[in-house]
């Protein structure tokens, strides 16, 4: 699920980058055609870029909030929570593994057949 959101975010960033490039090209064309001055073009592009960056940060914050809400609704853990749980499971498995080996040895000792003494053979009645 996180991959989907990452792809969406990267696609959005790519779309913004492409938009900025095309906007820059349009302003450059206006400057070449002498419809606006170079300083005006630079100011327009700088304003557009700063506004786009602010909107991107706002968009990213909203997207992050949505992702956290979805993860919470599905009761999915975050990466660090999952890593902590994995470490705890490994530690418990090691303890259980050591204990289970001890228990197996104890059970083997307890269930060893006692050495059977041969009972004296009964003499057959003649």
Domain boundaries, the chain: 1-76, 77-109
- CA nearest neighbour of 5 among 67, 69, 79: 67
Find out whether 27 and 96 touch, Cβ atoms under 8 Å: no
What pLDDT does 121 receive?
54
The whole-number average pLDDT for the span 96-103 is: 73
Residue % of the chain over a pLDDT of 90: 1
Write the DSSP assignment of the chain as a string of letters.
Answer: -HHHHHHHHHHHHHHHHHHHHHHHHHHHHHHHTTSS-HHHHHHHHHHHHHHHHHHHHHHHHHHHHHHHHHHHHTTPPPHHHHHHHHHHHHHHHHHHHHHHHHHHHHHHHHTSPPPPPPPPPPPPP-
pLDDT band at 125; cut points 50, 70, 90: low
- Enter the pTM of the model: 0.42
pLDDT in tens, 12-54: 778 877 888 888 888 888 888 888 888 888 888 888 888 888 8
Give the Cα separation of 105 and 107 in Å (integer): 5
pLDDT(5) > 80:
no
CB atoms within 10 A of CB 40: 13
């Amino acid at each position: 699920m996180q991959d989907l959101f990452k792809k969406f975010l990267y696609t959005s960033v790519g779309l913004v980058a492409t938009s900025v490039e095309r906007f820059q090209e349009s302003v450059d064309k206006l400057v070449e055609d002498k419809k606006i001055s170079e300083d005006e073009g630079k100011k327009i592009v700088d304003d557009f870029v700063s506004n786009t960056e602010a909107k991107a940060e706002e968009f990213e914050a909203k997207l992050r909030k949505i992702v956290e809400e979805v993860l919470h609704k599905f009761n999915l853990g975050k990466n660090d929570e999952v890593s902590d749980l994995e470490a705890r499971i490994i530690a418990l498995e090691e303890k259980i593994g050591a204990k289970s080996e001890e228990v197996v040895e104890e059970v083997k000792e307890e269930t060893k057949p006692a050495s059977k003494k041969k009972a004296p053979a009964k003499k057959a009645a003649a």
